[in-house]
A and B are shown apart, each in its own frame.
Chain A
Amino acid sequence: MAQPKKTQTLNRLEKSPTGIRGLDEITGGGLPKGRPTLICGSAGAGKTVFAMEFLARGALEFNEPGVYMSFEENAEELIKNFSSLGYNLDRLCSRKKLVIDYVFIERSQIIETGEYDLEGLFVRLEHAIDSIGAKRVVLDTLEALFSGFHDTFVLRAELRRLFRWLKDKGVTAMVTGERGERTLTRHGLEEYVADCVIMLDHRVTEQISTRRLRVLKYRGSSHGTNEYPFLIREDGVSVFPITSLSVDRKAGRERVSSGIPQLDDMLEGKGYYRGSTVLVSGGPGTGKTSMAAALVSSACQRGEPCLYFAFEESESEIARNMGSIGMDLEPWTRKGLLHFEASRPTTFGLEEHLSVVHKRIEEAKPSLVILDPITNFISVGASLDVKSMITRLIDFVKSKQITTFFTSLSQSAGAPEHTDTAVSSLMDTWIVLQHMESGGERIRKLYILKSRGTAHSNRIREFRITSHGIALADA
């Protein structure tokens, strides 16, 4: 028999979508509706940005007006700070979608002459909520109360009352708290907010800053438990979940030419799988970029758009170098089929790069993406972070069926398996280029280390770069 309906509705926890990129995926739909969520983190971790975006998007995208009760910044400061993130809070206020109430707490002790409660706060909050029919509330940060009032017994009783009151009012509340030394928040707000707790972390390692978010607790809901990196960009917060939490992607069967006919021969005569990942590693000057260019030329000839991320050379350097070996990329750039994005990995942190890559791919919708080279990222992040970043990148491109070609610089002439980053295990095809001496000459050799799903050739071929492009010969 079918399950009784009553049980089914009880099990469903209603969620309030935040609209913050990536956060709704991690939380399975948003924050618990009508309940308080605690966002904690050290100063500068991004709590206020999250909180304000929750309200602004609530108003703009979900037609839920909100009240921002600020205990630290006043309305003008908030409006100014958020205009740089593209939010016109002033207009939201005049359209009655947002109320900002700045609560000033005197730092020096106000003389306490007897019994009191914090009813003034309740009056203000209720008035603000009722004036615009608010469905979302932010309290940033209630901990400020502890510096103005010293009867902790009263404070704690009133905080308990406040959270009961918020639940009764049916608003979805976001409460911020500063990270404590031994407790989650300095004044233990987690005691009162038991439904959902999110922690923000901001680390600076080797001058690169990384921000991470973790859902510590989400009562009644499953949630991603990892640390998710996020960025605060010029249009707000972007959290990066691993786009496919499961690995059940559909495997495609279509093949694309590598742009080098003899290499296609080594790959069952067909080339790479479309949407697969290819890594080419080799020492300096072995021809990695030329292999990338060959692949680009072949794709552009089919009219497919390509995106080339250059992390070492500039667009003109690459175009010039490739032009001199018979691969003219300029016509493709002119036709708008090839777009270059050049930047040094050390300019930003890994997450920033990932974010740029995401954005450009979403804008350009390419069928082929080149990342040349990815080795420089090692200088930016610890190798575990690099692997994590590249894993997420690969998840992203595979979900879009984009063929992705990576080049990697091997440090020594020794076995590339040892000198390469840990990312080779993420690649479907791995091709190695090596210099060797033969008959008094330095020649290059190529071999396919692996190619999943392909009965690839195990032969070592000589890799020749001529003025007419790349040719493979018998070694």
Chain B
Amino acid sequence: MEPKAKTRKNQNKRETEVWELRLYVAGQTPKSVTAFSNLKRICEEHLTGKYHIEIVDLLENPKLAAGDQIIAVPTLVRKLPPPIRKIIGDLSNEERVLVGLDLIPREKI
């Protein structure tokens, strides 16, 4: 994994930092499988090589549902770079995913 870039007023910062994405699912269901494959594809295309996906299965870790305030499933959380962004659904609507992750400006919606 590439080392995380240090915080400085550097325009290259955005290009070098690694995105930490967490996908919350509840068991292996069609929605969760779809979400994961959509996520992988979008990340490969827009964040090549600088992303890290973590899958959290709430059925195995039910405490995290309350701890991380997850209601809808699937939920995708962008933990890094800050600020935290949260989107829900199986990620089929790519444009909305990109807006939700702040990869394209919001006015597009």
Contact = CB atoms under 8 A, between A and B. Distances in A.
Given A103-B69, A120-B26, A124-B65, A114 B91 contact: yes
A118 B69 contact: no
Interface in A386-439: none
Q: Chain B CB within 10 Å — which of A101, A104, A127 has the most?
A: A127
Interface residues of A, number: 25
Contact of B72 (A104, A117, A127): A117
Contacts of B24: 120
Contacts of A124: 62, 65-66, 71
Interface string B84-109: 00111111110011011000000001
A126 interface: yes
Contact of A120 (B63, B72, B89, B99): B72
Contacts of A105: 71
Nearest to A124: B65
A113 B87 contact: yes
A279 to B, nearest CB: 60
B47 interface: no
Contacts of B38: 114
A105 B86 CA distance: 12
A73 B74 CA distance: 25
B53 interface: no
Nearest to A117: B73
A74 to B, nearest CB: 11
B92 A120 contact: no
B29 to A, nearest CB: 8
Contacts of A116: 31, 72-75, 88-90
A239 B109 CA distance: 53
Contact of A112 (B63, B70, B89): B89
A104 B59 contact: no
Interface residues of B, number: 33
B80 interface: no
A6 B86 CA distance: 54
Contacts of B59: 123
A187 to B, nearest CB: 16
B90 A120 contact: no
B58 interface: yes
Contacts of B31: 115-117
A106 interface: yes
A139 to B, nearest CB: 13
A111 B100 contact: yes
Interface in A80-108: 101, 103-106
Contacts of A115: 31, 34, 89-90, 92
Interface string B2-40: 000000000000000000000010100001001100100
A146 interface: no
B65 A127 contact: yes
Q: Chain B CB within 10 Å — which of A105, A110, A113, A123 has the most?
A: A113
Contact of B71 (A118, A127, A128): A118
A363 interface: no
A423 B48 CA distance: 85
A119 interface: yes
Contact of A149 (B65, B72, B93): B72
A117 B34 CA distance: 14
Contact of B88 (A103, A113, A127, A128): A113
Contact of B62 (A113, A123, A145): A123
B76 to A, nearest CB: 8
B30 to A, nearest CB: 9
A121 interface: yes
A123 B87 contact: no
A113 B89 contact: yes
Given A112-B96, A116-B74, A120-B58, A127 B89 contact: no
A114 B34 contact: yes
Nearest to A111: B100
Contact of A113 (B71, B73, B97): B97
A105 B58 CA distance: 18
Q: Chain A CB within 10 Å — which of B58, B71, B99 has the most?
A: B71
Nearest to B96: A113
B63 A127 contact: yes
Contacts of A101: 66
B73 A118 contact: yes
A118 B26 CA distance: 10
A123 B72 CA distance: 10
Contacts of A104: 69
B60 to A, nearest CB: 10
Q: Chain B CB within 10 Å — which of A105, A115, A128 has the most?
A: A115
8 contacts: A111-B99, A111-B100, A113-B76, A113-B100, A115-B34, A116-B72, A127-B63, A145-B71
Given A103-B69, A123-B62, A149-B72, 12 more contacts: A101-B66, A103-B71, A104-B69, A112-B87, A113-B89, A113-B91, A113-B96, A114-B35, A117-B72, A120-B70, A123-B59, A145-B71
Interface of B: 24, 26, 31, 34-35, 38, 58-59, 62-63, 65-66, 69-76, 86-93, 96-97, 99-100, 109
